[in-house]
C-alpha cells in the first residue's frame, strides 16, 4: 500500500519548529543593530531564516514575503519552503519587522512568521496599504471602520468600563495620520506613537495586560494579514479595508480579485481557526526583549501564539555563542 501523508494542518510541533527560524534571523541581525545599514541587517536575517526553514518538515508556500521573485531572490511571494513533507501551509515571513529601527538601534524590531492552513491567507500584495482597527475582545460587536474614531473610542471605553480620558490609542507616527491623531485627542483619549511596527502595536492592543486599548491607522496590507493571525489566537478584534494610493494600484487590486469596498474581518484576512504567529525580539520592545549576549550564551525571547489552542507562550532560549561565530 502506498504511504499516505495524513498531516494536512499546521500543528503545535510546527509552531515550535518555526520559532527556530525567527530566533536565527534575530541573532544574525544583531551585529547590524545601530550600524545604519538596514539592507545588510535584512539580508543577514533573510539568509538565516531561509536556511532554518529549509530543514522544517512542512510544505510551506510564502504568501507574504520579501516581494516578487524578480526583486527578492529568497523568501519571495510564491516560494515553496520546508522539506515538502508534512502539513501544507501558507506562511507570511518578515525576517525583520523594523529594519530601519534595527539600523538605528531603536526598540521594537522583531523577526516574525505567521502560518495557517493552505489557501487561507488573503494575498493583498497588489495593494500596499490598508486601514486597520485592532482591539481586544471588548471590540467585538462594538467597533467598526464605518464609525468615526471618536465613536469607536467612546464605544470601546464603555465596553471596557473605562473613562475615555484613560484610553490609549496606538498609531503610526506618519504625516498621513495628522488628522487622525487630532481626532483621537479631541475625543479625549491619549496616543501612543509608533515609530514603526504596527503588528506589535496591534498585538499589544489585543493583550489584556498592556496600556494600549486600540491600534488604528493606515499601514501595510501584509502586516494586516499577519496581525490577524495573532489576533485570532488572542480572541481579539480586527478589521481592515484596503487603501490603494492611486487608481493604477486600485486596478491592480481589482485584477487580483480584491474587493476594495469590503471591510475585511479576521476571517476575511485569514480563514479558519488554525493560525499561528511566531516572533523573536531583535531589539527590546513592549512585546518581547531583544537578543542579549550573556557570557558564553546568546539569549533570545520569543512568543508563539496558536488560535486552535488559544495560547500565547513565551520562550526564553539560551544558545551557545560559539555555535553562532
Residue 97 annotated as binding site: yes
Alpha helices in the chain (DSSP H): 12-29, 38-53, 99-104, 149-160, 178-186, 198-206, 221-234, 247-255, 266-269
Residue 322 annotated as binding site: no
Residue 323 annotated as binding site: no
Residue 140 to residue 159: CA distance in whole angstroms: 10
Residue 176 annotated as binding site: yes
Residue 232 to residue 209: CA distance in whole angstroms: 17
Residue 175 annotated as binding site: yes
Residue 129 annotated as binding site: yes
Burial class (CB within 10 angstroms; exposed 0-12, middle 13-18, buried 19+) of 1:
exposed
Q: b vs e for 245-271, b when ≥16 Cβ sit within 10 Å of the residue's Cβ?
A: eeeebbeebeeeebeeeeebebebbbb
Residue 98 annotated as binding site: yes
- Please tell me what DSSP assigns to residue 118: T
Hey, what's the cell of 65?
Answer: 514575503
Number of helices (H), then strands (E), in the chain: 9, 14
Residue 247 annotated as binding site: no
Residue 240 annotated as binding site: no
Residue 90 annotated as binding site: no
Residue 220 annotated as binding site: yes
Residue 174 annotated as binding site: yes
| Rg over CA atoms, the chain | 19
Hey, what's the cell of 311?
Answer: 495560547
Residue 227 annotated as binding site: no
Angstrom CA distances, 298 to 232, 271, 316, 324, stand at 31, 37, 10, 9
- 124 touches 222 (CB < 8 A): yes
Residue 83 annotated as binding site: no
Residue 42 annotated as binding site: yes
| Sequence-separated (6 or more) residues with CB below 8 Å from residue 296 | 320, 321, 322
Binding residues for substrate: 97-99, 129, 174-176, 196-198, 220
Binding residues: 42, 66, 94, 97-99, 129, 174-176, 196-198, 220, 223
Binding residues for Mn(2+): 42, 66, 94, 97, 223
Amino acid at each position: 500500500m502506498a504511504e499516505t501523508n495524513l498531516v494536512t494542518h499546521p500543528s503545535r510541533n510546527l509552531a515550535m519548529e518555526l520559532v527556530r527560524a525567527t530566533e536565527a534571523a534575530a541573532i544574525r541581525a544583531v551585529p547590524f543593530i545601530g550600524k545604519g545599514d538596514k539592507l545588510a541587517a535584512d539580508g543577514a536575517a533573510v539568509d538565516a531564516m531561509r536556511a532554518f526553514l529549509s530543514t522544517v518538515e512542512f510544505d510551506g508556500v510564502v504568501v507574504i514575503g520579501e516581494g516578487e521573485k524578480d526583486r527578492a531572490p529568497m523568501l519571495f511571494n510564491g516560494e515553496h519552503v520546508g522539506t515538502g513533507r508534512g502539513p501544507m501551509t501558507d506562511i507570511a515571513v518578515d525576517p525583520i519587522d523594523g529594519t530601519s529601527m534595527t539600523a538605528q538601534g531603536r526598540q521594537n524590531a522583531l523577526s516574525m512568521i505567521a502560518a495557517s492552513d493552505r489557501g487561507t491567507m488573503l494575498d493583498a500584495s497588489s495593494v500596499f496599504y490598508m486601514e486597520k482597527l485592532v482591539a481586544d475582545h471588548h471590540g467585538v460587536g462594538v467597533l467598526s471602520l464605518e464609525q468615526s474614531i471618536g465613536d469607536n473610542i467612546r464605544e470601546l471605553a464603555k465596553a471596557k468600563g473605562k473613562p475615555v480620558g484613560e484610553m490609549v490609542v496606538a498609531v503610526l507616527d506618519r504625516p498621513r495620520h495628522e488628522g487622525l491623531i487630532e481626532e483621537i485627542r479631541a475625543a479625549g483619549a491619549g496616543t501612543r506613537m509608533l515609530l514603526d511596527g504596527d503588528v506589535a502595536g496591534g498585538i499589544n492592543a489585543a493583550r489584556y495586560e498592556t496600556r494600549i486599548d486600540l491600534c488604528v491607522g493606515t499601514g501595510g496590507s501584509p502586516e494586516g494579514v499577519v496581525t490577524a493571525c495573532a489576533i485570532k489566537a488572542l480572541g481579539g478584534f480586527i478589521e481592515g479595508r484596503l487603501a490603494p494610493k492611486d487608481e493604477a494600484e486600485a486596478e491592480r487590486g481589482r485584477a487580483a480579485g480584491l474587493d476594495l469596498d469590503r471591510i475585511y474581518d479576521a476571517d476575511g484576512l485569514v480563514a479558519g481557526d488554525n493560525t499561528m504567529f511566531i516572533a523573536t525580539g531583535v531589539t527590546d520592545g513592549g512585546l518581547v526583549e531583544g537578543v542579549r549576549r550573556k557570557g558564553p550564551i546568546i539569549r533570545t525571547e520569543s512568543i508563539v501564539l496558536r488560535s486552535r489552542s488559544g495560547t500565547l507562550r513565551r520562550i526564553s532560549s539560551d544558545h551557545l555563542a560559539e555555535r553562532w561565530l
